[in-house]
Chains A and B, each alone.
Chain A
Amino acid sequence: MLLNLLLSQSSPLLSNARRALQWWQQKQIDQLHDNAELIRDQILQDLFAIRRVLELAHDNQRPLPTDSLHQLETLHYDLETISNQLSPTLSHGDVSLAIQQTLQQWHRQHPQIALNHQISPNSGMPGFEACIAIMILQEWLSLVAPYLGESASIEVILATQTNQTLLTLRIDEPEQTQRDVIAHLPELTYLCQAFRLFTGISVIQTSQFERLQWQLAWPTEDT
């Protein structure tokens, strides 16, 4: 109730609360980024050195057992994945690539779900908002995935227009029951409210025929 009241107003109270939340969120992002860098700058380096010593110690006559190599590769991949998840990809400054990587990573974990994406390169989304957008996208995917039927598909579109960047999240779900469940998930409402609280931008949710759609629009940052 209080949240809805707050969101419906553009008061100094809301403005102050938003600044405080953004500051807090940025702190969390920085801390996660530091942890990710720790993995990259220490653990992955040590792993690299161990691997090269092992590879060099074995030659064509005595090759390193395939199992050992595979285990090392898996360990490296897992650590890299954890680091990628911890660190906001946006610290590298490219939201389009960050969204693409998020989707690819998610799809590797959920290969059974049909996922299409159209990502426009070089979107002009401001850094903080873009960071939040990635978090929203990750959360949205994890919230809807358990309720998708076998014939459902997801589509993510990032489009850059003259004055704004549009992120569209779509679900095409032929099953009415599943569609209703997803459309009324309370967590999705919280997610949209949290996004609005953080950024001041509303999420427009629509449904038409077999399609559910959420759309987020940012004013394009001047470059």
Chain B
Amino acid sequence: MARTFVVIDDHEAVLSGTVAVLQKEYPDAQIITASGAKEAEEQIAGANPDAVVMDLSIPHTPKDSAQTETGLQLLRMLMEIYPTLNIVVQSAHVRSLVRIKPLMDLHEGGLTIADKGLPLKEMLKKVDWALQGLMYTPREMRVGLAIKPEWLKVLMLAFQDGLQDKAIAEKMNISERTVRHYWTKVQDALDVYPESGKNIRIQTEIRAREEGLID
């Protein structure tokens, strides 16, 4: 299935580097570029992309100077208008995201953070995780283990009562999609991510027990 990506970055060399990487990994993909927030808004509204790969330090229009606040504002807006959009933040300013971490916790689409220092393979992994609807935030963005009560409830219903997602959804009076959303958030908080040959739910249970979240 051909995918559509929107890539946002105001540095031409960075933009072409990212496009080349994505084109190599997803040869059939349609890749649309934008160099500022305003252009990005228009492209995303028209393209309905599978994922957006965006920098944070961007200008609003080509006439403006690049600012982290502009990228943060665009990200806030995207999460509000497109709550299930898959987003990869590829930036040298990832620490700035701390300001909107509570909003990121509410986003239901994939949301991964790729520092610009990451090797190509790692960056592609973050794109793949976002397309899978997962959440990934670097550890440096977090203070301690921040687990919301609803995420803890999912852990307890799954690992103490042995319930599956459908039963958890019924018990918590929420949709199965929301249960899956909670799983990605709690897995990110516990630093549990997909690994070849490993069952992510079992990894989550092991980590949750290590942290004393469940008995």
Interface residues of A (CB under 8 A from B): 37, 40-41, 44-46, 48-49, 51-53, 55-56, 69, 73, 76-77, 80, 89, 92-94, 96-97, 100-101, 104, 119, 121
Chain A residues whose C-beta falls within 8 Å of the C-beta of B161 in the assembled complex: none
Chain A residues whose C-beta falls within 8 Å of the C-beta of B140 in the assembled complex: 97, 101, 104
Smallest CB separation, B14 vs chain A (Å)? 5
Name the contact of B143 in the complex, choosing from A69, A73, A100 (C-beta under 8 A).
A100
A55-B14 contact in complex given A40-B93, A44-B92, C-beta closer than 8 Å: no
Establish whether residues B117 and A40, one from each chain, have CB atoms under 8 Å apart when the complex forms: no
Chain A residues whose C-beta falls within 8 Å of the C-beta of B24 in the assembled complex: 56
Closest to A59 in B: B24
Given contacts A56-B120, A96-B143, A100-B143, 19 further A-B contacts (CB under 8 A): A40-B57, A44-B117, A45-B14, A45-B92, A46-B13, A48-B117, A49-B14, A49-B16, A52-B14, A52-B120, A56-B21, A80-B92, A89-B95, A94-B99, A94-B143, A97-B95, A97-B140, A97-B141, A119-B144
The CA-CA distance from A52 to B19 in the complex, in Å, is 10
Establish whether residues B143 and A97, one from each chain, have CB atoms under 8 Å apart when the complex forms: yes
Does B209 sit within 8 A of A, measured CB to CB? no
With an 8 Å Cβ cutoff, the count of chain B residues facing the other chain is: 27
Name the contact of A55 in the complex, choosing from B57, B120, B141 (C-beta under 8 A).
B120
The CA-CA distance from A92 to B13 in the complex, in Å, is 27
Chain B residues whose C-beta falls within 8 Å of the C-beta of A77 in the assembled complex: 117
The CA-CA distance from A37 to B140 in the complex, in Å, is 18
Name the contact of B96 in the complex, choosing from A44, A45, A92, A96 (C-beta under 8 A).
A92
The CA-CA distance from A101 to B14 in the complex, in Å, is 27
The CA-CA distance from A152 to B147 in the complex, in Å, is 33
| Residues 14-25 of chain B, each 1 if its beta carbon lies under 8 Å from chain A, else 0 | 101110110010
The CA-CA distance from A36 to B103 in the complex, in Å, is 26
Establish whether residues B143 and A92, one from each chain, have CB atoms under 8 Å apart when the complex forms: no
Interface residues of B (CB under 8 A from A): 11, 13-14, 16-18, 20-21, 24, 57, 66, 92-93, 95-96, 98-99, 116-117, 119-120, 140-144, 146
The CA-CA distance from A55 to B92 in the complex, in Å, is 19
Establish whether residues B92 and A69, one from each chain, have CB atoms under 8 Å apart when the complex forms: no
Establish whether residues A92 and B99, one from each chain, have CB atoms under 8 Å apart when the complex forms: yes
Name the contact of A69 in the complex, choosing from B14, B20, B119 (C-beta under 8 A).
B119
The CA-CA distance from A89 to B16 in the complex, in Å, is 30
Chain A residues whose C-beta falls within 8 Å of the C-beta of B143 in the assembled complex: 94, 96-97, 100, 119, 121
Listed residue (B21, B66, B117, B120) with the most chain A CB atoms within 10 angstroms of its CB: B117
Smallest CB separation, A83 vs chain B (Å)? 8
The CA-CA distance from A169 to B24 in the complex, in Å, is 52
Smallest CB separation, A90 vs chain B (Å)? 11
Q: List 8 A-B contacts (CB under 8 A).
A: A45-B14, A51-B120, A52-B14, A55-B120, A73-B117, A76-B117, A92-B96, A94-B143
Closest to B121 in A: A55
A48-B116 contact in complex given A40-B57, A121-B144, C-beta closer than 8 Å: yes
Chain B residues whose C-beta falls within 8 Å of the C-beta of A104 in the assembled complex: 140
Establish whether residues A49 and B17, one from each chain, have CB atoms under 8 Å apart when the complex forms: yes
Establish whether residues B21 and A41, one from each chain, have CB atoms under 8 Å apart when the complex forms: no
The CA-CA distance from A121 to B18 in the complex, in Å, is 35
Chain A residues whose C-beta falls within 8 Å of the C-beta of B11 in the assembled complex: 45, 49
